[in-house]
Amino acid sequence: MGEFSQFYRDYMQSAAWRTYRRQVLTRDKGRCRQCRRRGPVDVHHLTYERLGHERLADCITLCPTCHAARHSHMHQPHAAASGMGCLVLLVAVVLGLVVLFLASRQPSHPSVRPVAPKSAVPRR
């Protein structure tokens, strides 16, 4: 990751990036692709797969607001994962409580046994 960000930082300073960036801005007419707002805009990578030799489709123009929104759930896999983990844990706890509640309502001695379905046995 260190090498990547170093390369990324250098690339952002390069003439190649500036040329590419201008192409993206021209294609999107300098407007945010999400909310169509004009004004200060950023060029956002949809993929870093071809960083340094991007295709025109690899980046889009976004205003700072939409850009920040994208990054809040795109480039922070750890935050997203832990948030998801909390939700899963909460659901598991609630389900566990429901199961406990249902179990406590049932008769303690299992007198009713599941009857084997006789129709499943082929007749002769």
The least distance separating Zn ion from the CB of residue 41, rounded to whole angstroms, comes to 8
Q: Which is nearer to Zn ion, 73 or 92 (CB)?
A: 73
Q: How far apart are the first and last CA of the chain?
A: 69
* Angle separating helix axes 15-27 and 2-13, nearest 10 degrees: 70
d(CA 66, CA 35): 8
* Of the candidate residues 24, 59, 60, 66, the single one contacting Zn ion (CB under 5 A): 66
d(CA 73, CA 64): 15
d(CA 111, CA 88): 35
* Of the candidate residues 44, 54, 58, 60, the single one contacting Zn ion (CB under 5 A): 44
Q: Which is nearer to Zn ion, 80 or 89 (CB)?
A: 80
| Residue position matching structure tokens 């994208």 | 70
d(CA 97, CA 94): 5
* Of the candidate residues 12, 35, 87, 98, the single one contacting Zn ion (CB under 5 A): 35
By CB under 5 A, tell whether 34 contacts Zn ion: yes
By CB under 5 A, tell whether 59 contacts Zn ion: no
Length reported for the chain: 124
By CB under 5 A, tell whether 60 contacts Zn ion: no
Q: Which is nearer to Zn ion, 35 or 94 (CB)?
A: 35
By CB under 5 A, tell whether 63 contacts Zn ion: yes
Residues that bind Zn ion (CB under 5 A): 32, 34-35, 37, 44, 63, 66
